Structure 1
Amino acid sequence: MTHASDRDLTIQLQAEFDNSQGVLQTNSKQLKLETGLLNNTGGLLFSAHDLDIQTQQHAVINTDTQDPAMKRGIQAMGNVNLNANALNNDKGVLLAGNDLSLTLQGDHVTHGVMVAGRDMGLQTTGDLTNQIAIRVGRNLSVSAQSIDNTVSGELVSGNNTQLMATKDFTNRGLVDGGHTQINSESLTNLGTGRIYGDRISIAAHDLINKEEWVGTIQKAATIAARNELDIGAHTIVNQEHALIYSGSDMAIAGALDNARRATGTANTLTNSSATIESGNQLTLHSADTLNVDAHIKIEPQVSTQSISEGDNPRYDYTRTITEDKLVLADPAKIISASNMALSEGAFKNLDSKVLAGGQLTKSGTSVENNERLGTKTTHDVGTMTKFNVRYCRFGSPFGCIYHDYKDETYAWQRAPVIETLNLTQ
């Protein structure tokens, strides 16, 4: 069915609207559908302007609409607004030349293709699992109770990428944008997870940036801003070769202000065999910061040497050297190319690196900078032999009658010599 009038086309049905394998298009004004369940399996719903779909508490089925000729799916040259209880877009196409808005109920798993030339909004009242590449020309907004961006998932915009989860946000895929904004109770970026942006601002109660095994390979997650990075969180964990990076300034604190700048004080920041690096200035406001090598391994190595020295007495002994050796080092690193400011609480740097290209300042901060020490113990154990020792061979009550000479050997050892070694330099 083709509608060529210059008026809007509105279809209102209480019952199911079945457009499976069918065509409904308007080449002039808005197409508006108010129906029960909408079945567009293998069909085409098209508007040369805007397309508005309202199915009350019913689902929209848009399966099997992927078509190289783009003659199937839900499409509009202007805006697409879809409000439904659920959406099944398996092998389907949702395409808006301008803006795409999806408002759903309950849990949702993305399928198929979703494209917006300008802005896209995806909102659901339940949990959202994204396993497709969603790329929009301008702004992307996603909100759900929890968001799981899987390994194949991409949430990318040319301008603002706003991700809001009232509970958890889990990322194993790609997030990118001009300004990437994440708000969640808990943010876990793990393994193959990459969070990029010209600017990144993250507000969370807990932020965990960590590793995950993918088969036999350990992958470490990345949070990397091309320019500025602001993190406001109570608990921050960066571990196992994960990276938190900013090409310019970085600020880590306890919350974000209205301008999405880091403010306040985080409760804890743990950087465990991982890297936090800023291409310019770095500011850390944390009540308790731990920068630690989680894998440092020290083992004693033992060597022996047989030594004979001296004439009389002569010493024959074995020198045993027990020396601690650093066999594994995996230091955490906090780096700024320019100034670094540490404030508020306790800062512990254990067997790890803190490097500032400019000034390193500490305000109200107690610093514990410990490097692992080892020991070298040298212990000589053997015998001492005295040659030609004069002794009385025959004696009488009146004294020695005849003296003779003999060699005498005794057990002998030196007191151990213990030296302290700095193993991490």
Structure 2
Amino acid sequence: MGKSAKFFKRPTRKEKAVMSLTKGTAETSLFDSSNSTTTGGQKGHSKTKDVLSVTANPTIAKKSTISSAGAHPPKASLAYKMQLNGGVKQAVKDLEILEDVELESEDEDMDEDHDTTTHQSSTGSGSKAAQANKKKNENLDKTKPRLDYPEASEINPANRPPQEWPAQGRVEFIDYETRYRPGLDLVLRGVNCSINPHEKIGICGRTGAGKSSLTLSLFRIIEAAKGQILVDGIDISTLGLYDVRSRFSIIPQDPVLFAGTIRFNLDPLGTRPDVDLWQALEDSYLKEYVSAMEGGLNAMVLEGGDNFSVGQRQLICLARALLRKTSLLVLDEATAAIDLETDALVQAIIRQKFRECTILTIAHRIDTVMDSDRIMVLDQGRVAEFDMPAALLADQSSIFYSLAKQSGNA
């Protein structure tokens, strides 16, 4: 079992009891150390050692009664401060030792679990436990950061796309397959589809069908295991990551804002004049609100955009996409976290301002993609259906019809 698994291991009842004991005695140790006077400082320090001797041996669960000293004499203020500083340092050391003890205890329990699973598998009675253990390791692999796997270079000097690429926004998936990590199951299987320039595509499917994986593949967050993605005839796997990601726009489900000014959030590279920034804000119905803020474009945005509502954050992200003027826009459930009124506003802006743009919309609510040119229905990583909404709704045996019926749109 991997070393990192100990951070995900669910504590047993016994461990919970030990942790409760150690936390309680450690907190008491800190309180006692900070309240020790000059006359009782050495006594308080010895009590801290007594507490540590209990908590460092989790098998000995005995109660410790620690009393604190009384009021501090005025004349001993300097000595009290020195004693307080020493007491806090000692308590921190105690907590560090306690943490090491808890981690060692978890390692021992995990070794016992591993031995038990091995024994059960060898006798033929632990097949289910072995399968569960394998599943747990696979889940840990998915949650493990991808930093161990180096990404492609930002720029491929041998193959740079034209400055105007993508001019049309044609997207083709050719026998495309991908997985999140080598050794894991495929999340997209044999995807073949062609999306025409300026076409509005709604992508839907049940949970785990591969909707988000499709957009991650387009931005090369995950790489191809097989097949190609062509954008205006260029295989994106031959390009550098910067050339791919800087040419597409995405409005995510959770709007992303950075600590800084509104100007920085709209145009991080500072390449656009103020008139373009104000026009983008006007097109996203934020000009009046930003104009009323102190500083206008230079008004501050808190970390994560905490001084804006969720709907306003999404509109700022929309204004950022308007500024980029790319030919390919991905809406990854962009209106899932906002109210219906703001949802309708965002949809209206998209229809008006992105008419000449190819749009791929990950559907959270079926009604948001009912006016799409075509609907792509994914099922277990495959393209199960790909047709106009009316044609899919006319077929009562289609997956899209069942999804629309569940949401009250059929």
Shared fold, TM over 0.5: no
Scaled to the shorter chain, the TM-score interval is: under 0.3
| TM-score, normalising length: structure 2 | 0.20
| Higher relative helix content | 2
What TM-score do the two structures reach when normalised by structure 1?
A: 0.19
Larger relative strand fraction: 1
Bigger Cα Rg: 1
